Amino acid sequence: MKRFKRSEGMFLKLKTIISILISIFLVTGCNSKEIPKQQSANNGSLPKDIPGFVKERHFENIDWNRKVTDFESKTGMDMIGNKDKVGFVGPRLEVNQVEKWLWHFWGVQEGKLTVIGVNKATSNITPVFSDGVWTKDGIGGGKINGADASLPSNVVLKGDGTWALLVYINDQLFDTLVMDVKKETKNEAVQIKDKHFSNIMVVQKIENNTTSEEKIRTLKDQSKIEKILSIIDGMKVEESSNEVMLEKMKMQDSYLFLFGNGDHLESGKPIPYSFSVLDDGTFFFVNDNVNSLQRPHISIEKHVELLNDMKRFLKIEY
């Protein structure tokens, strides 16, 4: 059985580290908060009623790294989208929240608009217009806000995560809008009712998606363990997702804090509590209390100075 010891020269891949945060809790059979079901998946196959000009290759060619941005049109109007191609005026989407968008188009004067949504994680394909239709007529109206044409519509998506909206104009693929859709969240706070539960803490530096024996430290000072737990207690957080956590951890180095009991922590065994911190001060939590799993939560603010204070307090120099 592998142990979290410096002598073992352990190199953990990022997905293994995240499994420590998520999957390992399933060993305990502990009660977790119910995760709302995704909308019915069609496993990436095209729905029977989808327009015939929509082809499977259109989905295969999606650039998931090219996400929409906030930009300002030439007339000073704030928009979201792909500048000088497709943009909209309106709020970013949250799950099941119907929003009104004013679409703006460059390089087209009139026509019909078809928008197809596909979820990156589930491959579910769905209409985006809130009334369930694939296509709407009415692109036109002349130049507006620096764009060549526009169209208002109500839009909605019924699952969280990263979505691609394939935009067709007059039956031709025109552009793709990639965006993150969040669950409707309520701000919460980290709560650790019992700060005396742990007599061992392991701190790992995850660098370039791996860790090494030089970047792992085990502490058994009870007062320091309780101090760290007290520091994060009460931190304001909001619900996130496994996908968001994975993507952010791929982009930055991070620190993983693991808490338990006994002489050492064993991989494959339940870990009562853990959290991770990105270099930019973003905290991720997968527990809502000791021995209790929840969907990942992310700190509302970035706490770079707090991370630096924790490192100084623990005399961690890596």
pLDDT digits (tens, 9 = 90+) for 68-98: 999 998 888 899 999 999 999 999 998 988 9
Average pLDDT over every residue of 26-44: 40
Residues 147 and 219 both lie in one domain: no
Average pLDDT over every residue of 99-110: 96
H or E element, residue 35 = none
Burial class (CB in 10 A: 0-12, 13-18, 19+), 243: middle
Say if residues 134 and 74 touch (Cβ distance below 8 Å): no
Is the whole-model pTM more than 0.85?
no
Residues 82 and 134 both lie in one domain: yes
Does 44 reside within a domain? Answer: no
Sheet holding 99-105, edge to edge: 69-72, 78-82, 86-89, 99-105, 149-155
Greater confidence (274 vs 29) lies with 274
Residues 215 and 157 both lie in one domain: no
Alpha-carbon span 257 to 28, nearest angstrom: 19
Range of the domain at 100: 56-181
Say if residues 107 and 169 touch (Cβ distance below 8 Å): no
Residues 82 and 158 both lie in one domain: yes
Last residue of a domain, one of 155, 181, 207: 181
What CATH number should be reported for the domain holding residue 124?
2.60.40.3830
Collect all residues with Cβ–Cβ distance below 8 Å to 284 and sequence separation of at least 6.
21, 240, 245, 248, 249, 275, 276, 277, 278, 296, 297, 298, 299
Alpha-carbon span 249 to 17, nearest angstrom: 10
Mean pLDDT of the chain: 85
Question: Coil, helix or strand for 86?
Answer: strand
Choose the weakest-confidence range: 19-28, 103-112, 126-135, 186-195: 19-28
Residues 78 and 172 both lie in one domain: yes
Q: What are phi and psi of 210, to 5 degrees?
A: -135, 170
Q: How many domains does the chain have?
A: 2
Residues 134 and 147 both lie in one domain: yes
Reading the block at residue 251, the tokens are 């982009």
Residues 192 and 300 both lie in one domain: yes
Residues 177 and 194 both lie in one domain: no
